[in-house]
Chains A and B, each alone.
Chain A
Amino acid sequence: MVVILGWKSSPIGRSSLLKSICNLSRKLIAESSIKLSDVNLIIHAGVYRRNFRTEPAFASHVQGELGLKCKALSQESEHCFSFDVSDGSCSPYVALNSAKHMMKIKSGGYALITIGDERPNSQSYWPYQPISCVMLVALEGDGAKLESTTFDSKSFETTAVISTIFDGIKSANVIGQYSPVELEITNQNETFIGDTNWLSGRHMHEFLTKYSQGLTKFHQINDNSGKSVTATWV
């Protein structure tokens, strides 16, 4: 079971996503009982990156900016592994489940999960005010424990897929238009359900805030595409 030992979030504001994530990560580690060098896995979950960057993984930029184990390999040296996951606004739970498996593979240690998005370019329509969220997770310890997740693609519609188009007038690759799926939502078990127009950082910020206040242990994220994920925490 994956456990969130600590988390921090903040609106990205005028900062870059990388700066926002790294500032939060440094504060989170400083306030925790572990050292940065105890982290050996970074997974970033998000959809939008500056200038629609596709490689390398954003998580490798976080690792580099934090200066985490950026050294040559030897037979005894300790290293970090970094990669990105995405599935619309359901991405945070993909990251948490991936972290669970990677921490088993890497035999313990701690993982840093970073969640966030930023405006790809000024030419793209951007109605969002993204929130960055970072979580320090492990396979055991005190904190919110993710008991189960259920992903559902049954209502997914290809008309809701988001991709870039080239806008000849703006002379730029921009976010294309799409038709969001209107999901019929039935709330059960005091499940916290965020707005379908939120990006994933805000989903986790809002849920973890309510979880911390003891208001809910159930979380559902409904993506604009019709996909959803339901999580049970203990």
Chain B
Amino acid sequence: MNQGLLHSKILSFASHIPDNFVSIDEFAAVGDLPGKLDLHRLTGIEGHRKSDAEEGSLELAIKAAEKSMTRADIKPEEIDLVINCAVSNLSGKLGLHISPSMATIIAKELGIEEAICFDISNACSGMMTSLMIADSMIKSGEISTALIVSGENITSLIDEAKSNNLWLKSKAIASMTVGDGSAAYLLGKSETPNQVIFSEPFTFAQYNKLCIGEASKKRAGPLMRTKASQLQQGVLDNLSEFLTRSMQHMGLDWTEINHVYSHPTSPKAVEKGAEIAVATMGPIMQLHNISHDIANTASTSHCMLLEKSLQAGKLKSGDSTLLISFGSGLAMLAMYFHLPEGIEQWL
């Protein structure tokens, strides 16, 4: 089948937002950090969500996937592609999943037997990268329905950071801005064109050493070391050109986009980006800068924000939505889509 004749759409999305809220005062009070650093004032983050003790990336991912399947009324046998794009892939006991793809295990747990399963790793931009490939597979006629899923079990990074002398290892401080959560999108065929459109994807590899995630050398689980201000500056330096070029590439009118979600490294960082966006592109209809109580949940972040907007009754069927993604590497890409019909009735 010819690419260009087939179309795709978002059938549903879902996030599992853990109930357990941990206030920033409990793990990064002003006196805890070097130089009386006020992380709340600096980032706008009030706290994060923490998954249950036995809950790892797999369990979190399955919760989001099941919710997305219920919302779209999709059965396991209808799904022919599963992509997992988590950065963490950590069990509840902090074992890092290695092989085969986590997507294979997720599919098995969900009773999806015939699907192609693999993992994509592109830091916090893994979700957009995966959606982009799934979209192309649907438009080429190779598949009909794709589940893109991620569970991020990353708050152990906070404990790892705090086990260091932060005066000496200031690059660990950004680890305190993360939270747990999961996300799933179901992508399927559409009769109507342009329900899902992607920007050009970019990797600015000159910034590729500014955020590193790997195994801790002295304790179970991972560590993350980030030169946060330099990484943020890399985004801000390219943002104006990115938005201009992306809107042109996607054929969109910025002022007609109902909802804009940016990857929330922190609410304050999003504010800085929004200033550039408004100066370059004009007013934003609705910027959902609402990560203050969930923090940065890596690849799941946009969906976590969408879920919060949904719960707040802010989303309507057919609304146009733009997700802007940044990931360490430095990857930048965006996805535009129309919210699924019937979203107001989702549980």
Contacts and interface: CB of A to CB of B under 8 A. Distances in A.
Interface of A: 42, 47-57, 59-61, 63-64, 68-75, 79-88, 90-91, 94, 98, 101-102, 104-106, 120-121, 151, 153-154, 156, 158, 161-166, 171-173, 175-176, 223-225, 227
Per CB-CB distance, the 10 closest pairs between chain A and chain B, nearest first, are A88-B100, A166-B220, A64-B205, A101-B136, A56-B329, A83-B122, A63-B205, A52-B215, A60-B329, A70-B206
A163 B97 contact: yes
B36 interface: no
Nearest to A227: B100
Contacts of B208: 56, 60-61, 63-64
Contacts of A75: 241, 244-245, 248
Contacts of B219: 166
B51 to A, nearest CB: 17
B214 interface: yes
Contacts of B137: 101
Q: Which has the most chain A C-beta neighbours within 10 Å: B118, B200, B205, B222? A: B205
B120 A85 contact: yes
A233 to B, nearest CB: 18
B119 A86 contact: yes
B237 A79 contact: no
Given A57-B122, A81-B202, A227-B104, A165 B95 contact: yes
Contact of B218 (A54, A80, A171, A175): A171
B118 A162 contact: no
Nearest to B126: A83
B274 interface: no
Contacts of B315: none
B98 A47 contact: yes
Given A81-B331, A83-B121, A87-B117, A54 B98 contact: no
Contacts of A163: 91, 95-98
Contacts, number: 217
A116 to B, nearest CB: 14
A234 to B, nearest CB: 18
B100 A87 contact: yes
Contacts of B328: 55-56
B101 interface: yes
A80 B205 contact: yes
B281 interface: no
A42 B125 CA distance: 15
A91 B121 CA distance: 12
Interface in B80-95: 87-89, 91, 94-95
A173 B90 CA distance: 12
B329 A57 contact: yes
B3 interface: yes
B327 interface: yes
A165 B215 CA distance: 11
A153 B213 contact: no
B278 interface: no
B269 interface: no
A60 B97 contact: no
Q: Which has the most chain A C-beta neighbours within 10 Å: B198, B202, B211, B244? A: B202
Interface in B282-336: 327-333
29 contacts: A48-B98, A51-B214, A52-B98, A54-B213, A54-B214, A56-B328, A60-B331, A63-B205, A64-B208, A70-B204, A71-B206, A72-B204, A81-B203, A85-B119, A87-B101, A87-B118, A94-B118, A98-B133, A102-B136, A153-B115, A156-B100, A161-B99, A163-B98, A164-B95, A173-B96, A173-B220, A173-B221, A225-B104, A227-B100
